[in-house]
Structure 1
Amino acid sequence: MNSPSSAAPPSRPLVCVGALVRGPAGYLIVQTTKWRGSWGVPGGKVEYGETLSAAIEREFVEETGLKITGIRSAQTQEAVRSAEFHKDSHMLLFDFFAHTEGESVAPNEEIVQWAWVSLEEALSYPLNSFTRTLVELAIKEGA
Structure 2
Amino acid sequence: MQRVTNCILTKNDQVLMLKKPSRGWWVAPGGKMELRESIVESVTREFKEETGISINHPQLRGIFTIVIEDQGKVINEWMMFTFQATNGSGTMLPQSPEGELAWKSVEEISQLPMAVGDYQIFEHVLHKNGLIYGTFTYNGNLDLLSYRLEAEGEPIKQFKV
TMscore range, shorter length: 0.7 to 0.9
The aligned amino acid for 2:124 is L
* C-alpha contact (below 8 Å) 1:18/1:96 kept by paired residues: yes
Change (3 A) 1:89 1:26: same
Which consecutive aligned stretches of 4+ in structure 1 deviate over 2 angstroms post-superposition?
99-105
Give how far 1:70 is off: 2.5
TM-score under structure 1 length normalisation: 0.75
SS in 1 for 2:127: helix
Name which structure has the greater RCO, CA cutoff 8 Å, separation 6+: 1
The alignment-based identity, stated in percent, is 24
RMSD of the TM alignment (CA)?
Answer: 2.5
Q: Does 1:18 align with 2:14?
A: no
How many equivalent pairs are there?
A: 125
Unaligned runs of 5+ in 2: 131-161
Structure 1 residue 61 and structure 2 residue 44: aligned? Answer: no
Larger strand proportion of the pair: 2
Aligned pair partner of 1:124 in 102, 111, 118: 111
1:62-119 deviation digits (Å, cap 9, x = unpaired): 0010010121111111221279xxxx642111101112345842133211x2221222
Whether the 8 Å CA contact 2:3–2:33 is kept in 1: the answer is: yes
CA distance 1:101–1:82, change in 2 (3 Å): farther
Q: 1:114 is matched with which residue: 101, 106, 125? A: 101
Maintained 8 Å contact 1:16/1:94:
yes
1:104-136, Cα deviation, whole Å (9 max, x unpaired):
42133211x222122221111112234322211
In 1, distance between residues paired with 2:69 and 2:31? Answer: 16
TM-score by length of 2: 0.67
Query: Is 1:27 the counterpart of 2:15 in the alignment?
Result: yes
